[in-house]
């Protein structure tokens, strides 16, 4: 008689994505759905959230739509509770939600700084707290913060956003130290982004004379999503996406004054297209613009955007590159020895 074989059913991972309705968040939803994940979708725009749910289900995952303003800690906590009631314990929490204002500092309003900070910085704090409250007792879980090169190097016309990203970086480093002190198995990572082709440039509040654009080189949001999925499986304290991100962050450590000079002369023009801005265009600072329309993951810069980062590939294949390098070194050494005989 042949022995029976028992099959263990592997539970799908439970993931929360904030800012899930569009842009980078939307691409991350699609990436995890392909893995069969159960995903809590947090954002404000109803059409965008429904679009993200459809994307997830088509890709093979399950999704729960939870309209949430990340600036409201009670809403974030309630959303986390609903995800666990529906899918079970949260394995991975990914903070993406953001808003911004394109404007010189001298024209910014106090309430605009407050709102950008509440969404883009405190939204990450509230999301992290909701995740920690559930992960720490289990001593298990991953929190991934979507950062930016602008967490290290401020640029003109985005002072509120740059300030919030700097704050996220400091908050995350403090928390990481505490987790290390407690010998916790809960891990927190930051994925630092380059310019990305997302709808945000068409719906952020813009006080500039021309339409806003990301500073080239521009990457497709799927490049970011793949990097986030990698970090979820292979812990990294930090992962830079795009060679431009590496250059900006490292150069700012060495010659920050040059960055001030260079961006003061190029940063205004490089963040604007040649098309005049519509001063009456809707923006998502106070309310979502995707309540009536689904914008998806991509913005208006598909023709300029790059769909692969060789820098990320190299960073995530260090072992392979090391073997190749060792092989080349071995061949060179052997050749030198033979010629010396």
Condensed to tens digits (0 to 9), the pLDDT of residues 204-237 reads 999 999 999 999 999 999 999 999 999 999 999 9
The reported pLDDT for the residue numbered 328 is: 44
Contact 79, 127 (CB under 8 A): no
Residue 66 within any structural domain of the chain: yes
Residue 286 within any structural domain of the chain: yes
Catalytic center residues: 161
CA 62 to chain centre: 21
Residue 103 within any structural domain of the chain: yes
Residue 316 within any structural domain of the chain: no
Contact 69, 75 (CB under 8 A): yes
User: Measured between alpha carbons, how far is 10 from 149 in angstroms, rounded to an integer?
Assistant: 37
Residues 157-194: b if buried by 16+ CB within 10 A, e if exposed: bbbbbbbbbbbbbebbeebbeebeeeebebbbbbbbbb
The reported pLDDT for the residue numbered 332 is: 41
Residue 332 within any structural domain of the chain: no
Contact 59, 259 (CB under 8 A): no
**CATH code where residue 269 lies:** 3.40.50.720
Per the structure, the complete domain to which residue 54 belongs is given by: 14-308
Residue 334 within any structural domain of the chain: no
Residue scoring higher pLDDT (98 or 290): 98
User: Measured between alpha carbons, how far is 160 from 321 in angstroms, rounded to an integer?
Assistant: 40
* Confidence at 339, pLDDT banded by 50, 70, 90: low
Residue 86 within any structural domain of the chain: yes
Residue 329 within any structural domain of the chain: no
Residues 276-296: b if buried by 16+ CB within 10 A, e if exposed: ebeeeeebbbeebbbeeebbb
Count of the separate structural domains present in the chain: 1
Contact 19, 40 (CB under 8 A): no
Tell if the pTM clears 0.85, that is, is over it.
Answer: yes
* Confidence at 340, pLDDT banded by 50, 70, 90: low
């Amino acid at each position: 008689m042949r022995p029976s074989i028992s099959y263990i059913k592997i539970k799908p991972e439970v993931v929360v994505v904030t800012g899930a309705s569009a842009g980078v968040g939307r691409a991350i939803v699609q990436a995890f759905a392909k893995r069969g994940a159960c995903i809590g979708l947090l954002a404000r725009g109803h059409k965008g959230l429904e679009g993200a749910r459809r994307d997830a289900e088509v890709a093979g995952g399950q999704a729960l739509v939870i309209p949430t303003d990340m600036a409201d800690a009670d809403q974030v906590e309630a959303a986390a509770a609903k995800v666990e009631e529906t899918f079970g314990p949260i394995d991975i929490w990914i903070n993406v939600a953001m808003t911004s204002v394109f404007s010189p500092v001298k024209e910014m309003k106090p309430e605009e700084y407050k709102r950008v900070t509440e969404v883009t910085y405190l939204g990450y704090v509230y999301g992290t707290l909701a995740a920690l409250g559930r992960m720490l007792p289990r001593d298990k879980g991953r929190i991934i913060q979507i950062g930016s090169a602008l967490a290290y190097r401020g640029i003109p016309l985005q002072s509120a956003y740059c300030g919030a990203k700097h704050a996220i970086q400091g908050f995350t480093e403090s928390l990481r130290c505490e987790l290390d002190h407690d010998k916790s198995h809960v891990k927190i990572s930051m994925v630092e982004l380059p310019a990305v082709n997302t709808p945000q440039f068409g719906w952020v509040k813009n006080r500039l004379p021309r339409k806003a654009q990301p500073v080239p080189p521009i990457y497709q949001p799927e490049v970011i999503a793949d990097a986030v999925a990698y970090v979820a499986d292979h812990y990294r304290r930090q992962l830079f996406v795009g060679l431009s991100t590496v250059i900006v962050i490292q150069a700012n450590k060495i010659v920050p004054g040059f960055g001030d000079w260079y961006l003061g002369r190029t940063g205004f023009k490089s963040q604007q297209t040649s098309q005049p801005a519509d001063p009456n265009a809707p923006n998502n600072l106070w309310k979502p613009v995707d309540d009536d329309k689904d914008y998806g993951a991509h913005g208006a810069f598909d023709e300029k955007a790059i769909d692969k980062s060789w820098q990320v590939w190299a960073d995530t294949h260090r072992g392979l590159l090391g073997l190749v390098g060792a092989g080349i070194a071995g061949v060179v050494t052997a050749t030198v020895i033979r010629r010396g005989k």
